[in-house]
Homo-oligomer: A and B are copies of this chain.
Amino acid sequence: MTPIPIEDPDDPRLAAYTRMRERDLVGREGRFIAEGEVVLRVLLSPRARFRVESVLLSPERLPGLAPALTGLDAPVYLAAKAVMGAVAGFPIHRGVLAVGLRGPDPAPDALVPAGPALLVGLVGLANHDNVGGLFRNAAAFGADAVLLDAETCDPLYRKAIRVSAGTSLTVPFARLPTGDGLLDLCERQALVPVALSPRGEAITGLPPLPRALLLLGTEGPGLPEALMARARRVAIPMAPGVDSLNVAVAGAVALHRLGGERLARL
């Protein structure tokens, strides 16, 4: 790894870092942006599922990150923060960026392990904070993979990666066109589909489910009734008069119940 200093914001080697916010919205043709030290360290670790195309650091960040960059098979560019800001279109206070390559999405069925399995299925979740938070919780509670319907936002969106603390780079995910596709997959793979509903059985009394997929929908409308009807409905006990939690929080409590007992024995 020999760092390459760059002084010109129009240098074509930085093309993938330009106009960052506009391109967050329109997509990057197979690339994603990783920002900040926590996320970069995950991207550089063997846990990450994605290849690095390049790294862009402000020079004062190099000494601390150099050990993590040894052996990296991609260019490391150095540019002053003012140049980074001119390229990105807004100030890059932390001075740490990288471009990763998405590669092809895995097939959903390929992400279901034989034997004990815990998956998460996201339906219609358009909020990047919630999707990022759910990846972080999926990683913490040992979920094997996350499956997304077409309406759920991109886990490799810049902010989603950051909120996930980098776990959207490590927890495998794949897309299905519809929520119904998630239920069909559960049938094929002998997974118990579990959905949260205030009228479900108490999750505190749920027997161990060796193969389960936790379905999560938006906080307001929740999961479509047709999906609910095909799932095992469980309730997180809540105080009278309270009927909802943030979806990432509800997901964490449910994953703790579904996966936590197994983790406690590790």
A interface residue numbers (CB < 8 A to B): 47, 133, 136-137, 139-142, 165, 167, 202, 204-205, 236-242, 244-246, 248-249, 252-253, 256, 260-261, 263-264, 266
Contacts and interface: CB of A to CB of B under 8 A. Distances in A.
A142 B202 CA distance: 16
Contacts of A261: 204, 237
Contacts of A242: 139-140, 167
Given A133-B246, A253-B253, 12 more contacts: A137-B245, A137-B249, A140-B238, A140-B244, A142-B238, A204-B261, A236-B260, A237-B264, A239-B263, A252-B253, A253-B256, A256-B256
A202 B266 CA distance: 11
B141 A239 contact: yes
Given A133-B246, A204-B264, A264-B202, A140 B239 contact: yes
A141 to B, nearest CB: 7
Given A136-B246, A245-B140, A238 B263 contact: yes
Given A248-B249, A253-B252, A253-B253, A239 B142 contact: yes
A140 B242 CA distance: 6
21 contacts: A47-B241, A133-B246, A133-B249, A136-B245, A137-B245, A137-B249, A139-B239, A140-B239, A140-B242, A140-B244, A140-B245, A141-B239, A142-B238, A167-B242, A205-B264, A237-B256, A237-B263, A237-B264, A237-B266, A253-B253, A253-B256
A43 to B, nearest CB: 15
Contacts of A165: 244
Contacts of A256: 236-237, 253, 256
A37 B237 CA distance: 26
A264 B253 CA distance: 14
Contacts of A205: 264
A201 B249 CA distance: 22
Contact of A238 (B141, B239, B241): B141
A141 B239 CA distance: 6
A244 B165 CA distance: 10
